[in-house]
Structures are given as structure tokens and as C-alpha cells.
Amino acid sequence: MIAEKMLKALNGQIREEMYSAYLYLSMAADFEDKNFSGFAQWMKEQSKEEINHAMKLYGYINERGGNVELQALGKPQGSWDSPLKAFDAAYHHEQHITGCIDKLIKEARDLGDNATEIFLQWYVSEQVEEEDQTDTIVQKLNMIKDSSNGLYMLDRELSHRGE
């Protein structure tokens, strides 16, 4: 059986992951609207990954005999001024998620919940990857600046995600 405090925190993380999915889907929709179909494809794939992150938590809570309790999601921002602004927001959002995972691990340690601490290690590695991939795109967009050629090429490169 899992401690009530830990259960509440893990349910809160399901909300964070589902909100991540929602936010990236909103970025995808904005990119579609602006004819950046490659950036949109990348964000749609990212959104699916976030649902997987939530579902891993869902599975774990059930395995530990807890109840999954879904929470309300806020309305995400719907438009960004540029691809750089959107990917930079995604990068900062990933840093926020890393902070959430760190807090959960501290909670698990404080409660002596070794199983949850081990379960959360997967998210620690995943966050290193998630921060790195968004930061890499931010750096590329910074290099490109307003070059329409550069944006066209990067949009094409990112369109291959999920193939």
C-alpha cells in the first residue's frame, strides 16, 4: 500500500504530464496554423510521449493499490510569436517538470518509499533527454534567427519525428 501523501503527489504528476501533452498539442496546432507542418509533427509526437509519461504513473499507482484521481487541466496558451518562442517555452516547461520529479523523489525518500524512488529514476533519465532535445532545437533556432531558408530546412528536418 502506498502512503496517502505519496499517492496525492503522484496523482499531481499525472496532471503535470497530461498538461504537458495538452501544451505541446496546443503548440502543434499553432504551428499547423502557421504552415510549419514539421514543427507541428514534432510537437504532436512530443504530446504523445507525454501521455505515455502519464500512463506509466497511472500503471504504477494501480500496481501499488492506489486510486488514480484525475485533476482538471488549465487552458494552455494558444499562440506563440515565433518557433523560437514556442520551443523556448517548451524548454522552460521541461525544466519545470524536472523540478517536479526532483520534488517527488524527495517526498519518496522522506517517506522511506524505496519502490517509488526507484520507479521515479526512469523519469530522471527521461528529463535529461527531454531538456537536451528541446534545448538543441532552441539553439538551432537561435542560429537561424529570421532566415526563412533556415526555418524551412529545420521544419523539414523535424517533420521526420515518429516515422
Residue 21 C-beta-side C-alpha neighbours within 13 Å: 15
State which residue, 20 or 116, has the beta carbon closest to ligand OFO. Answer: 20
Residue 86 CB-density burial (10 A; 0-12 exposed, 13-18 middle, 19+ buried)? buried
Q: How far is the CB of 97 from ligand OFO (least distance, A)?
A: 4
Site residues for ligand OFO, 82-111, by CB under 6 A, read 94, 97
What is the SS3 assignment for 69? coil
What DSSP string describes 105-161? HHHHHHHT-HHHHHHHHHHHHHHHHHHHHHHHHHHHHHHHTT-HHHHHHHHHHHTTT
Q: Is 44 in the site for ligand OFO (CB under 6 A)?
A: no
- If one counts every other C-beta atom within 10 angstroms of the C-beta of residue 69, the result is 13
Cα distance between residue 47 and residue 131, in whole Å:
15
State which residue, 44 or 53, has the beta carbon closest to ligand OFO. Answer: 53
State which residue, 16 or 151, has the beta carbon closest to ligand OFO. Answer: 16
Of residues 11, 20, 26, 116, which one binds ligand OFO by CB under 6 A? Answer: 20
Q: Is 131 in the site for ligand OFO (CB under 6 A)?
A: no
Q: Is 130 in the site for ligand OFO (CB under 6 A)?
A: yes
State which residue, 129 or 157, has the beta carbon closest to ligand OFO. Answer: 129
Q: How far is the CB of 30 from ligand OFO (least distance, A)?
A: 18
**List of residues contacting ligand OFO (CB under 6 A):** 17, 20, 50, 53, 94, 97, 130
